[in-house]
Structure formats: structure tokens, C-alpha cells
């Protein structure tokens, strides 16, 4: 056992119960909010494309090739801060009504 492992175990062992409960709660919420592929169950990475199909299936780019249908929609996976701390600017040109 090296010094780094020993220090880590000591730190975790001395952590108060409330702090551990909050940490578990936060990790659980983050896992629940993450995007998963319905085929391989992999958690998609931030910035990766997610493909949605008519039947509600969500596939990653790796599993998309195993699905015969064309995706109905696709989107980029964003982190939990997207839209809250990141300012989204719409720079598309304005469409005028005819």
C-alpha cells in the first residue's frame, strides 16, 4: 500500500456521515440526469451526438449502425450547467413573415 492510497482511505474514513450522504445523493442525481444509449446502456459523453427514433429509442453514434431506421432527430449531449451558467446566443438570421 503506498502513501497516496493510505491517505485516501484515511480521508474517506474520517468523513462525517452527512457529507457522505450528500455526496451519494449528488452522484445519484447526476447519474439519473445523464443520457444513456438504449442499446448498449453506455452513458454518452458531453458533446457526443444522441440519435432519437420514432419509437422513442435513443442511440449513441456507435449503436446507430445497428438500427435499420433513420433517426427522427439528433442532438448534442450537454452537461448539467447548460442553459444555467452558459449563455446561449441565437445567431440565426431573423425570418420575416411573408
pTM: 0.54
In a domain, 70, yes or no: yes
Please check the confidence at residue 69 and state whether its pLDDT lies above 70. Answer: yes
The DSSP 8-state label assigned to residue 43 in this structure reads B
In a domain, 41, yes or no: yes
In angstroms, rounded to a whole number, what is the distance separating the alpha carbons of residues 88 and 82? 8
In a domain, 92, yes or no: no
With beta carbons less than 8 A apart as the criterion, state whether 77 and 50 touch: yes
Q: What is the pLDDT of residue 50?
A: 92
Question: For the chain, how many structural domains are there in total?
Answer: 2
Residues 5 and 20 in one domain: yes
Band (pLDDT 50/70/90 cuts) for residue 49 is very high
Residues 39 and 81 in one domain: yes
Band (pLDDT 50/70/90 cuts) for residue 4 is low
In a domain, 91, yes or no: no
Query: Which has the closest alpha carbon to 35: 48, 23, 22?
Result: 48
In a domain, 82, yes or no: yes
Expressed as residue numbers, the domain containing 2 is 1-33
Q: What is the pLDDT of residue 11?
A: 56
> pLDDT (tens digit, 9 = 90+) per residue, 75-95?
898 877 776 776 777 888 887
Residues 50 and 80 in one domain: yes
Exposure of 5 by Cβ count < 10 A (0-12 exposed, 13-18 middle, 19+ buried)? exposed
With beta carbons less than 8 A apart as the criterion, state whether 46 and 77 touch: yes
Amino acid at each position: 500500500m503506498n502513501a497516496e492510497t493510505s491517505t485516501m482511505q484515511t480521508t474517506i474514513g474520517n468523513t462525517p456521515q452527512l457529507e457522505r450522504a450528500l455526496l451519494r445523493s449528488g452522484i445519484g442525481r447526476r447519474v439519473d440526469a445523464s443520457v444513456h444509449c438504449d442499446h448498449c446502456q453506455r452513458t454518452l459523453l458531453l458533446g457526443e451526438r444522441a440519435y432519437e427514433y420514432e419509437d422513442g429509442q435513443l442511440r449513441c453514434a456507435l449503436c446507430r449502425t445497428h438500427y435499420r431506421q433513420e433517426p427522427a432527430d439528433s442532438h448534442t449531449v450537454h452537461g448539467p450547467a447548460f442553459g444555467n451558467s452558459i449563455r446561449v446566443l441565437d445567431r440565426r438570421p431573423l425570418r420575416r413573415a411573408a
